[in-house]
Every structure is written in structure tokens, then in C-alpha cells.
Amino acid sequence: MEVDAQLDRAAGTVACPRRFVLRRMVDVSGVSGTGDVAEGVEWSDGTVALRWRGKWATTVVWDYGLDALLAVHGHNGSTVVAWLDSDCPA
């Protein structure tokens, strides 16, 4: 089977890898809790690696970046990205 879809890496690049946490104000699912629920890195090509904290910890890679991650886990603003690295410009 041939895969036709290609990622557009030129859009949304960042200067260097940046660390962040996902900060959740409301736990819509009742699973992950509130506060800093996951740790992540946005790589220079826009890809995001995310490590969930807690009892059911897992690691996920988002090839389509923060927009895709927040579309699934942002819960309409209940979860936000809090940047840890202020020395890496966007």
C-alpha cells in the first residue's frame, strides 16, 4: 500500500526544541486530573513528543504538532501549553 499523504514540515517551524507542560484547569474526562498533567517537547520541525504523567503514563508523538494535540486534548481551553524554555524564540 502506498501512502500519499506527506507532512508539510515547512509550515510552523520553531528555532530550537522547546519544553512545555500541559496545564489542565478542568479534568473533563475524569482520568488525568488537574494541574501539570503532561510534559512535552516541540521539536524544531514542529513535531511534538508528549509524556503523560500519572498512573496511566504513556508517551505520544504528534506529527502535526501542537495544533493537533490541542484539538484532541485542549478541551476548549481547559488545557493550555505552559512553556518552560523562554530562551528559545518561536
Identify the pLDDT of residue 4. Answer: 38
CB-based burial label for 24 (10 Å; 0-12, 13-18, 19+): buried
Closest CA to 14 of 71, 65, 59: 65
Please write the tens of the pLDDT for every residue from 24-72: 987 777 677 778 999 999 999 999 999 999 888 999 999 999 999 999 9
C-alpha cell at 28: 473533563
| Higher local confidence (pLDDT), 11 or 45 | 45
Tally of residues, the chain: 90
Between strands 59-62 and 79-83, the pairing is unpaired
Statement: the pTM of the whole predicted model exceeds 0.85 = no
Q: How far is CA 19 from the centre of its chain?
A: 10
Extents of the domains making up the chain: 18-83
